[in-house]
Amino acid sequence: MSNQTKAGPISFLTELPANIWHSIFRNPLPDSDLGRSATSFTNFFLHIQPVKVHRHSLKLTYTWGLGLISLFLFLILSVTGVLLMFYYVPSTTQAYDRMLDLRGTVAFGIFLRNMHRWAAHGMVAVVFLHMCRVFLTGAYKRPREFNWIIGVGLFLLTMFSSFTGYLLPWDQLAFWAITVGTSIASYAPFVGNDVKFLLLGDTSVGQEALLRFYVLHVAVLPILVTLLIAVHFWRVRKDGGLSRPPEEDEVFPAATPEPVAMAPAAASAVVAVPAPAVKLGEKAQLEKKLYGIQGIVRGPFTKIGNVPDRSVFSWPNLVSLELLVFLITVAGVLIVSLYFNAPLEQPVNIMHPPNPAKAPWYFLGLQEMVSYSAFWGGVGIPTFEVLLLLLVPFLDRKPGGVGKWFARERLLANSLFMTFVILNIVLMIIGIFFRGPNWEFVSPW
Amino acid sequence: MAKEPRTPEEPESGEAITRRKLLGWLTGMGVFGSVLVTAFSNFIFIKPRATYGQPNRFSIGKPEDYPSGSRMTLDTRRICVVRDGDRMAAISTTCTHLGCIVATSETGFACPCHGSHYDQDGNVTGGPAPKHLAWYQVSLAPNGEIEVDKDVEITPGTYFSV
């Protein structure tokens, strides 16, 4: 009761900053394991992550942080995209002028446009590399089949977002790339012409098409991407965290030293206290099993009982790594945007297509195939490839080789996949460097 | 502790339908049907009934504007008007491959995008184009002007006599 006599307007004021701070952040910076778990647990933004994360998931040489970089590029694209929307007008008469305004009068306009363009190129590349990582490490196998499918969906949405954004500057490159792109869509059997008409809102590329692509680009696709990212992340946790080799979860690993020696409480190393690895008989182990709330989490990766704890606290181990990847991503985009300007060609002239009219680099493999046969190159083969990608986890059910780069057990699957990847890259290189006017073969030297 | 079952007794054979099952089924179909109708209505909504672009049926002026033997390209209309004596035709200049505008060349038409070539009548002579350039219906309007309808494709080689 004696304390209450001290409470008064003066102490309210002196304690104001601290009280506001503590009302937002319930936890002080943690110095104990309990605090570290509470930090992840009570913070809205941190609770997306598990309280503890497996050591194997933190290996940068396993994931190369590609999924995270994709996310951060998407965030950069969202922020810069919303800022650009303040000045952009989706009108055939004004769009190009607004591009010039971004260059000339809008403060940081050209820089924001550069960031948006280069982050978009980066996202297409990084999402693709992420997919390669997941394939080559066999991470799509049970129980992660569905998350692979979500991932393929995100890859396609990324490409489509890029494609729709491509039209918005309304320059020559944009106009003819969209003319070619929507014509490719019209080769789809049965629905082709309807798809083209729905995309363009007209019989040819014009004001309606610009408006439609704008709405898709700034509203429909970002919402879909956000939704799928949420499902993707949720599934990562529900499927038992990132993929890792089964040895990492063995109960009594053969002659594996404890990852980190038990640190004294005063030491700064932040390590979860490993469960005591008491040698028990198989039967006794089962009897001693304790089922907690984790018991209802499905999937073979959640182990209960005498599992050696090779996980560490997300705070600060995972959070600091994520921060590092974030800083590298932002720095990369900033540096590229400082030195290279996003291209802008002549305003649209519907009488004169540029010669050759080339799509952005990541569509040039497609355009190269299209130059042989519009149906097979633009619809048949891509549809086949996407179907194959979607079916991968159901065609390859062998459990071996998960969680390792270039696992011997996965030689066949990895070789097949790399053949497709290299073929597509070769087509892209031919399209970028070896095609000149009238799409004739030229030497870049 | 003999308790009355809270749910109605399951029928002996699995095929008989209980009231609960039927109502559940009807509700499910109702919801599913509503979703389908909603999706379909949205689809109808985004398919425009009228377009704001250029009309597909337009006048290209008097026949006298096109001297015999001339081949005039109307870029904005994306057609090439051919006159041969008393015969006239309108050939599309939109490449049948991927929609680029073909340029007139000495031998006919050539596409700058993917290298398709056509002869004077629009037949494919090379490149990836899958079919000949379209020929559109030409007619004489009551006011004496030539009218082209891009919605009506005619057999190549069919001329209109003026």
A198 touches chain B (CB under 8 A): yes
Q: What is the pLDDT of residue A271?
A: 46
Q: Which residue has the higher pLDDT, A352 or A428?
A: A428
Q: Which of A184, A204, A379 is the best residue to mutate to test the B interface, defined by the most B CB atoms within 10 Å of its own CB?
A: A204
Please calculate the CA angle B48-B49-B52 and round it to the nearest 5 degrees: 70
> HEC string of chain A?
CHHHHHCCHHHHHHCHHHHHHHHHCCCCCCCCHHHHHHHHHHCCCCCCCCCEEEHHHHCHHHHCCHHHHHHHHHHHHHHHHHHHHCCCCCCCCCHHHHHHHHHHCCCCHHHHHHHHHHHHHHHHHHHHHHHHHHHHCCCCCCCCHHHHHHHHHHHHHHHHHHHHHHHCCCEHHHHHHHHHHHHHHCCCCCCHHHHHHHHHCCCCCCHHHHHHHHHHHHHHHHHHHHHHHHHHHHHHHHCCCCCCCHHHHCCCCCCCCCCCCCCCCCCCCCCCCCCCCCCCCHHHHHHHCCCCHHHHCCCCCCCCCCCCCCEEEHHHHHHHHHHHHHHHHHHHHHHHHHHCCCCCCCECCCCCCCCCCCCCHHHHHHHHHHCCCHHHHHHHHHHHHHHHHHHHHHHCCCCCCCCCCCCHHHHHHHHHHHHHHHHHHHHHHHHHHCECHHHCECCCC
Tell me how far apart the alpha carbons of residues A63 and A57 are, in angstroms, rounded to a whole number: 8
Class of the CATH-defined domain B57-161? mainly beta
Per-residue model confidence (pLDDT) at position B13 = 55
The per-residue pLDDT for A104 is 87
Give me the pLDDT at residue A217, please: 96
**Residue B99 to residue A392: CA distance in whole angstroms:** 35
Does the distance separating the beta carbons of B48 and A357 come in below 8 Å?
Answer: no
Q: What is the pLDDT of residue A316?
A: 84
Are β-strands B117-119 and B124-126 bridged in parallel, bridged antiparallel, or unpaired? antiparallel
Question: Rounded to whole angstroms, how far apart are CA atoms A184 and A168?
Answer: 19
Two tokens, residue B5: 């079952």
Q: What is the mean pLDDT of chain B?
A: 83
Q: By percentage, how much of chain A surpasses pLDDT 70?
A: 85
Structure confidence at residue A407 (pLDDT): 83
Residues in chain B within 8 Å Cβ distance of A370: 98, 114, 128
Report whether pLDDT(B1) > 90.
no
Asked whether residue A394 carries a pLDDT value surpassing 50, the answer given is yes
- Residue of chain A nearest B76, judged by CA positions: A351
What distance separates the 2 farthest-apart alpha carbons in chain A? 91
pLDDT number for residue A262: 41
pLDDT tens per residue across span A176-210: 888 888 888 888 888 888 888 888 888 788 889 99
CB contact (8 A) between residue A207 and residue B53: yes
Record: contact B99-A182, CB cut-off 8 A: yes
Residue with tokens 């184009």: B129
The answer to whether B111 faces chain A, any CB pair under 8 Å, is yes
- Listed by start position, the domains of chain B span 17-52, 57-161
**Structure-model confidence comparison of residues A388 and A314, the more confident one:** A388
A191 at interface of B, judged by CB pairs closer than 8 A: no
Q: Is the pLDDT of residue A287 over 80?
A: no
Residue A395 has pLDDT above 50, yes or no: yes
Burial level of A298, CB count in 10 A (0-12/13-18/19+)? exposed
Residue A216: predicted pLDDT: 95
Q: What are the C-alpha distances in Å from B83 to residues A74, B64, B160?
A: 56, 10, 9
Residues from chain B that touch A355, judged by Cβ atoms under 8 A, are: 112-113
Contacts of B128 in chain A (CB under 8 A): 370-374
Å from B51 to nearest chain A CA? 6
- Residue A425: its pLDDT value, please? 92
pLDDT band at A422 (very low <50, low <70, confident <90, very high): very high
Residue A355, pLDDT score: 73
Rounded to whole angstroms, the Cα distance separating A38 from A157 reads 36
The model's pLDDT over B104-113, given as tens digits with 9 standing for 90+, comes to: 888 888 887 7
B112 lies within 8 A of chain A by CB:
yes
pLDDT at A218 over 50: yes
Smallest CA–CA distance, residue B45 to chain A, in Å, is: 10
User: Residue A391's pLDDT is what?
Assistant: 92
Band (pLDDT 50/70/90 cuts) for residue A286 is low
Nearest neighbour of A440 by CB, restricted to B97, B98, B115 = B115
The model's confidence at residue A128, banded by pLDDT at 50, 70 and 90, is very high
Name every chain A residue with its beta carbon within 8 A of the beta carbon of B107.
none
Mean pLDDT on B119-131? 84
Query: Of A226-235, A389-398, B53-62, B146-155, which has the strongest mean pLDDT?
Result: A226-235
Higher per-residue pLDDT: A313 or A216: A216
Residues B33-85 have pLDDT tens digits of 999 999 999 988 988 888 777 778 888 888 888 888 888 888 878 888 888 88
Inter-axis angle of helices A109-136 and A319-339, to 10 degrees? 130
| Lowest pLDDT segment from A47-51, A234-238, A389-393, B38-42 | A47-51
Contact criterion met (CB < 8 Å) for B46 and A370: no
**Chain B interface mutation, best of A193, A194, A355, A441, highest count of B Cβ atoms under 10 Å:** A355
CA-nearest residue to B150 within chain A is A203
